[in-house]
Structure 1
Amino acid sequence: MDALTRRQLLALCRDFYAVQAEGFDASRGHEPWPGWHRLAQSLPRARGSAEAPLRVLDVGCGNARLATCLARELAEGAEALDYVGVDASPALLRAARARLAPGLARRCRLVELDFLTDAVDGGRPGDALPPGPFDLVALMGVLHHVPGADWRLALLAACARRLAPGGRLALAVWRFAGRPRFERRRVAWEALGPVLGRTVDPARLEAGDGLLRFGADPERPPRYCHQVDEAEIAGWSSELGLEGVDDYLADGAEGDLNRYRILARPT
């Protein structure tokens, strides 16, 4: 994928969250995704106490619901958690700060960081992420906004480098393609106006790239989404040098809206 197309797709994501953050946050609710409970069972057993807190990096944290979920799952609660959430949306981070319980908020650091855009000019996706080490690096519903298979792998490699020995890389990949609810919200690339002064050239996109409307207002900007295919997901473990821990479907009304992959750095 060429640099201009990548910039355009990232700009679409920025514009979407700048306009839709409040409605998007409200649609997420306060409760954790069902798949997170199983994720919590795969965490390193040597961490997760007040003496040895679970060190977490939540990449694309949104309203930081994962922090609340983990604090509930840990036997010693928030005191057993050392959480860093990063997101490019200041509005979603404000929502996160407003929602975190006071005791949990003291254990959380929320960072406004665009960990993708700077890489267009020669860096690597994820290079700007906090260095770690972390016992858990999570990307929950993030990878569909990362343009290009090479960038998705590079971002995951940056996350893997931040894992402590035995640490977990936890991924939830959205499976929206082919579902009537989301197919009805598709927007044709030809219907999109100029982005960064030029139209997006569909010939320069990857198979699986699409535009989805959010909410009922057709005048609001759509979001760029990529349907990551199963073959790409299956290859990440070997390409990253990580061990597979768990692989399952969860979430949504039918219990299969997200594909979860839990990978571990060897000890």
Structure 2
Amino acid sequence: MMNSEIKAKLLEINQIFYQHHSGSFSATRHQVQPGVRRLIDSLQSDARIIDIGCGNGTLARHLAERGFSGEYLGVDLSADLLDDARRLLCSPPSGTYIFQKIDLAEPNWSASIPTNNFDWLVAFAVLHHLPGADLRLETVRAFRNLISPHGRVALSVWQWQNSSRLRKRVIPWSTVGLKPDELDAGDVLLDWRAGDSPGMRYVHTFSEDRLSELAFKSGFDICDMFYSDGKIGNLALYQVWRTAQK
């Protein structure tokens, strides 16, 4: 289990990133990724969706453009990105769209969200920013309580190691005063070069087996798995889960 102080340090790194670089980050997030489109474009127009880590509302805008008439709840840690999401969702959509500030690292973060309610819970490019296997497991177990009995979880995790460009952006842990043996296998620090000043983010690298193991430990079965995004379609690993059948 990861040391609590190390975990807090990694969470702080990402919190600082989104505080200082939300503008430049938001400017790079205006189109849904191909893998997201593959999953979302098949959803019923009246579904109930919760978007974990919704950022500046890219998915919400895509749904609105498709005439989505269901219920959408977008949650994110960054108040600035949520402000962008509300501002950018122009023209009154036909469905219900709500944005809420939530920190997945906080205990009982899901307490204010209706349980057994959502047809789809999506968490695209989220889990790899959560440090420590225990925090990731707690988070995903909470996902299970939010979806309806026949609901689905759709998520993606970065496969940054498949990009020569991103492999060059790995920063030594000594940059933030940490030692490699204090981290979990697969933990990396990646730099950010968009905007006026450099930044950095913590990322955990998932293999197919590790992401599948997380699903099974959390009480899910895997319905679908594929790679997508990036120049050659392998920059993210996607999985779709359903509650395990007893």
TM-score (ref. length: structure 2)? 0.90
- Pairing 1:139–2:95 present: no
Q: 1:130 aligns with which of 113, 116, 120?
A: 113
Q: Give 1:113 deviation, angstroms.
A: 1.5
Tell me if structure 1 keeps the 8 A contact 2:162–2:235. no
- What whole-Å deviation, never above 9, does each CA across 1:46-65 have from its counterpart, x for those lacking one? xx45xxx3111111110111
Q: Give 1:38 deviation, angstroms.
A: 2.0
Q: Give 1:178 deviation, angstroms.
A: 4.8
| Residue identity in the other structure for 1:31 | Q
Q: Give 1:166 deviation, angstroms.
A: 0.9
Tell me if structure 2 keeps the 8 A contact 1:166–1:266. no
What is aligned with 2:169?
185
What is aligned with 2:219?
241
Query: Number of residue pairs matched?
Result: 243
Tell me if structure 2 keeps the 8 A contact 1:164–1:265. no
Instruction: Give the alignment of 1:1-267 within 5 angstroms.
Output: 1-28=2-29, 30-40=30-40, 43=43, 48-49=44-45, 53-73=46-66, 77-78=67-68, 80-104=69-93, 107-116=96-105, 118=106, 123=107, 126-128=109-111, 130-132=113-115, 133-192=117-176, 199-215=177-193, 220-265=198-243
Residues 70/265 of structure 1: CA separation in 2 closer, same or farther (3 Å cut)? farther
| Residue identity in the other structure for 2:56 | N
Tell me if structure 2 keeps the 8 A contact 1:173–1:260. yes
Q: Give 1:257 deviation, angstroms.
A: 1.0
Match of 2:134, SS state, is helix
Residues 182/64 of structure 1: CA separation in 2 closer, same or farther (3 Å cut)? same
Whole-Å Cα distance in 2 between the matches of residues 204 and 218 of structure 1?
A: 31
Whole-Å Cα distance in 1 between the matches of residues 241 and 194 of structure 2?
A: 38
Whole-Å Cα distance in 1 between the matches of residues 8 and 196 of structure 2?
A: 23
- What whole-Å deviation, never above 9, does each CA across 1:72-126 have from its counterpart, x for those lacking one? 45xxx23x2211111111111111112112323862110112121x3xxxx36x4
RMSD of aligned residue pairs (Cα, Å): 2.2
The runs of 5 or more residues in structure 2 that have no matched partner are: none
Match of 2:11, SS state, is helix
Residues 239/147 of structure 1: CA separation in 2 closer, same or farther (3 Å cut)? same
| Residue identity in the other structure for 1:211 | L
Whole-Å Cα distance in 2 between the matches of residues 27 and 191 of structure 1?
A: 25
TM-score (ref. length: structure 1)? 0.83
Tell me if structure 2 keeps the 8 A contact 1:165–1:266. no
The runs of 5 or more residues in structure 1 that have no matched partner are: 193-198
Match of 2:51, SS state, is strand
Q: Give 1:243 deviation, angstroms.
A: 2.9
| Residue identity in the other structure for 1:213 | D
Match of 2:93, SS state, is helix
Whole-Å Cα distance in 1 between the matches of residues 162 and 111 of structure 2?
A: 35
Q: Give 1:251 deviation, angstroms.
A: 1.1
Percent pairwise identity: 34
| Residue identity in the other structure for 1:140 | F
Residues 211/129 of structure 1: CA separation in 2 closer, same or farther (3 Å cut)? farther
Whole-Å Cα distance in 1 between the matches of residues 209 and 184 of structure 2?
A: 15
